[in-house]
Amino acid sequence: MARTGAVLPVALGALAACLGVALVTQPPGGVGDGFRGRQGAEIDKRAIEPLDVVRAPGDLGEQAFAHARTLVGFGQRHPGTPGWSKQLDHIETTLAALGLTVQRDTWTDRKERITFTNLAATIPGKRPDRIVLACHHDTKCTQGHADPEHNFHFVGANDGASGVALLLALAPVLKATPREATIELVFFDGEESLDWAWNDAARALFGSKRFVQKHRDAQLLGKEPRIAAVVLLDMVGRTDLHIQDELYSTRELRQLMWSAAVATGHQAAFCQRAEAAADDHKPFLDVGIPALDLIDLNGNPHWHKPTDTLDNMAPASLQKVADVVMTMLPVVERRYALRTD
């Protein structure tokens, strides 16, 4: 992910050139609604929609944190490392134990000569149209960079493990709840830039770009139902949680996230700052698929630092995000997956 656009209620400090998400100043008011890579304006925090609260089980944050502990225990998890292989097996084994069929999509990028793997599991609904809940499972490679400060041991507790852990903890809850729409859990590989700097995602977002291209090809052949909307979880477990108003994301979904945060009483951890972040939702937005990125990037002192460890994560933060996602999901389903137009 990389910072690529910023509208902040406070003055911006120096902008980092590091990878993983990029940063571009956005004037107040903005343009667009989050489709096709355009930055939108900040949400209207006065426009709060009354929502029925759907809370995650009370121990879900702890369950997610336990998954994160397991993942971090595998060490560095960028493609080709032993930890990467162990993580893929853990994701597959965990979902298979729920009776879900896991599809592995493994390919070698011919230019980079790196092998990547996306994982996906489908929870069938009454209708085939899908809502994709996604994350990235790779960690930033912090080896072999020209600047010695960019070379260190990195386990990616929040940036990598938290999204995976939360999806794995949500999976049994989602499976146990009958739904009209189909839910697809997707774990992207290759989100992080191979260069330290983002470079406009020239060497990043490998998994999400491939997933979207394969989806479009399958749709043209009539072999796959449409993706109605995407909710991306990236960096959702920091102790001092702040899920920003991510300005590329579809505005309607951002407003819905804010309403869900208010309904669940978690508004202090949401939308207090705004900034666009180039992330795995961008390839979907670029082809007109509504998408929302739940990300704690702006003001995060541990992003791509050795301090991104379990010590700086909390089960309570994962619980808050789970509550917001569960409260949003029925509305996302009705408004996007069940539309007939």
CA dist 82 and 61 (Å) reads 27
Query: Is 245:282 a contact under the CB 8 Å cutoff?
Result: no
Q: CA 106, CA 113: separation in Å to the nearest integer?
A: 13
Pick from 338, 291, 240: nearest CA to 37: 291
20: phi > 0 → left, psi -120 to 50 → alpha, else beta; which?
A: left
Compute the distance between CA of residue 23 and CA of residue 2 in angstroms, rounded to an integer: 7
Structure tokens at 208: 């999400």
Helix, strand, or coil (residue 31): coil
Both tokens of 133, joined, read 């809940």
Q: By the 8 A CB rule, do 306 and 152 touch?
A: yes
Q: Which fold has domain 2-337?
A: Aminopeptidase (3.40.630)
CA–CA separation, 315 vs 187, rounded Å? Answer: 21
The three-state DSSP-derived secondary structure of 149-196 is HHCCCCCCHHHHHHHHHHHHHHHHHHHCCCCCCEEEEEEECCCCCCCC
Query: Cα–chain-centroid distance for residue 30?
Result: 23
Q: Residue 37 has what pLDDT?
A: 56
Q: What pLDDT does residue 8 have?
A: 40
What is the pLDDT, as a whole number, of residue 6? Answer: 45
Contact 309, 68 (CB under 8 A): no
The CA–CA distances, whole Å, from 8 to 112, 188, 273, 282 equal 36, 29, 6, 21
* Residue 5 CB-density burial (10 A; 0-12 exposed, 13-18 middle, 19+ buried): buried
**What is residue 221's predicted lDDT score, i.e. its pLDDT?**
86
Over its length of 341 residues, how does the chain's per-residue pLDDT go in tens digits? Answer: 888 654 443 333 332 333 344 333 232 222 223 344 578 999 999 999 999 999 999 999 999 999 999 999 999 999 999 999 999 999 999 999 999 999 999 999 999 999 999 999 999 999 999 999 999 999 999 999 999 999 999 999 999 999 999 999 999 999 999 999 999 999 999 999 999 999 999 999 999 999 999 999 998 888 899 999 999 999 999 999 999 999 999 999 999 999 999 999 999 999 999 999 999 999 999 999 999 999 999 999 999 999 999 999 999 999 999 999 999 999 999 999 987 66
Please report the pLDDT score of residue 286 as a whole number. Answer: 96
d(CA 311, CA 308): 8
Which residues have CB under 8 Å from 251's CB, separation 6+?
33, 34, 40, 41, 43
Q: Length of the chain in residues, anyone? A: 341
Q: Where are the domains of the chain?
A: 2-337
Q: How far apart are CA 106 and CA 115, in angstroms?
A: 7
> Which residue type, as a one-letter code, is found at position 166?
L
Please count the helices (runs of H) and the strands (runs of E) in the chain. 7, 9
Chain mean position to CA 302: 17
Taking alpha carbons only, the member of 221, 219, 130 closest to residue 180 is 130
**Angle, nearest 10°, between helix axes 163-175 and 315-332?**
50
Round the CA-based radius of gyration of the chain to a whole number and report it: 18
- Measured from the Cβ of residue 24, the count of other Cβ atoms closer than 10 Å reads 14
